[in-house]
């Protein structure tokens, strides 16, 4: 059992709380039973799994599975787990995995892709990912100045759906959107000055949907590429919605139209 906070492995994993260290080490940090259950179901390749003895007893079946899935397993004391965790009350399991296991590319027959510009809140992005999986989004692109795609809170907020979404960070969103525009995709942007409601957009067409920063919205360069500008009608002088909630409204309408078409 690892009991020292000075243990080299403990110190290495503690560093993964920082984005730059995760990138430098090329590692994800997975925390919590829920995430590990989903990682196990999709057979996501794990490098190191650290658990407390109490967690092993409470989650015996999952512990047995992880022993065949991870390259290295270690039992740690409760104090070490608290030091490693990014949450206030860790449930007793944490793991690492290679960031290369997350590589993905958009499908050739993409129907709906989401482009997010400068999203900052990890809770928002995690909720967006979960909603996107539920509503059958084909692909997500994220600007490289957004919150990290594998930020631990993003992963937890997705309630495990992070493993199912196809997504990547894109350095040049303008060129990406122009490419799809040249292929005949409609480019739909959310805007407070939008001239159509979300139920007036024809989501049966191949679509790239643009959503922007929580406070500033879309950059002018991206907004200028829109062929349709959509506004969710709001009552009682409410000016705007949280970006995750706005995404949910738009994707619910997309799903409704896709279901009605069948």
Tens of pLDDT, residues 58-98: 999 999 999 999 999 999 999 999 999 999 999 999 999 99
pLDDT in tens, 89-113: 999 999 999 998 877 899 999 999 9
User: In this predicted structure, what is the pLDDT of residue 237?
Assistant: 85
User: In this predicted structure, what is the pLDDT of residue 262?
Assistant: 63
Q: How far is CA 6 from the centre of its chain?
A: 32
Instruction: Over range 166-180, report the average pLDDT.
Output: 96
pLDDT in tens, 14-52: 999 999 999 999 999 999 999 999 999 999 999 999 999
| Average pLDDT in the chain | 93
pLDDT in tens, 135-166: 999 999 999 999 999 999 999 999 999 999 99
Q: How far is CA 134 from the centre of its chain?
A: 13
Task: Please say whether the beta carbons of 83 and 5 come within 8 A.
Answer: yes
For helices 33-41 and 60-69, the axis angle rounded to 10 degrees is: 50
User: In this predicted structure, what is the pLDDT of residue 260?
Assistant: 81
In the chain, % of residues over pLDDT 70: 99
Confidence grade of residue 240 (pLDDT, cut at 50, 70, 90)? confident
Instruction: Over range 106-126, report the average pLDDT.
Output: 95
Task: Please say whether the beta carbons of 222 and 210 come within 8 A.
Answer: yes
Confidence grade of residue 233 (pLDDT, cut at 50, 70, 90)? confident
Among candidates 165, 148, 163, 214, which has minimal Cα distance to 40? 163
Task: Please say whether the beta carbons of 119 and 238 come within 8 A.
Answer: no
pLDDT in tens, 179-222: 999 999 999 998 877 789 999 999 999 999 999 987 888 999 99
User: In this predicted structure, what is the pLDDT of residue 194?
Assistant: 75
User: In this predicted structure, what is the pLDDT of residue 244?
Assistant: 93
Confidence grade of residue 176 (pLDDT, cut at 50, 70, 90)? very high
User: In this predicted structure, what is the pLDDT of residue 170?
Assistant: 95
């Amino acid at each position: 059992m690892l009991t020292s906070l000075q243990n080299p492995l403990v110190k290495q994993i503690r560093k993964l709380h920082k984005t730059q260290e995760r990138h430098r080490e090329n590692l994800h940090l997975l925390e919590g039973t829920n995430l590990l259950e989903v990682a196990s179901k999709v057979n996501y390749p794990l490098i190191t799994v650290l658990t407390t003895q109490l967690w092993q007893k409470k989650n015996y079946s999952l512990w047995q599975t992880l022993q065949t899935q991870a390259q290295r397993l270690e039992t740690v004391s409760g104090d070490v787990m608290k030091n490693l965790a990014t949450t206030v009350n860790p449930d007793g399991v944490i793991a690492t995995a290679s960031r290369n296991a997350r590589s993905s590319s958009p499908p050739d027959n993409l129907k709906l892709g989401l482009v997010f510009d400068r999203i900052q809140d990890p809770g928002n992005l995690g909720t967006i990912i979960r909603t996107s999986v539920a509503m059958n989004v084909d692909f997500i692109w994220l600007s490289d100045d957004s919150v990290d795609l594998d930020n631990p809170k993003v992963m937890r907020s997705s309630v495990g759906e992070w493993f199912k979404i196809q997504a990547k960070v894109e350095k040049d969103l303008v060129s990406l959107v122009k490419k799809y525009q040249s292929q005949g995709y409609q480019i739909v942007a959310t805007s407070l000055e939008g001239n159509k409601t979300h139920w007036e957009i024809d989501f049966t067409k191949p679509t790239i949907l643009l959503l922007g920063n929580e406070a500033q919205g879309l950059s002018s360069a991206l907004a200028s590429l829109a062929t349709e500008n959509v506004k969710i009608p709001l009552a009682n002088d409410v000016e705007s919605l949280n970006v995750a909630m706005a995404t949910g409204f738009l994707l619910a309408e997309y799903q409704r139209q896709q279901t009605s078409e069948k």
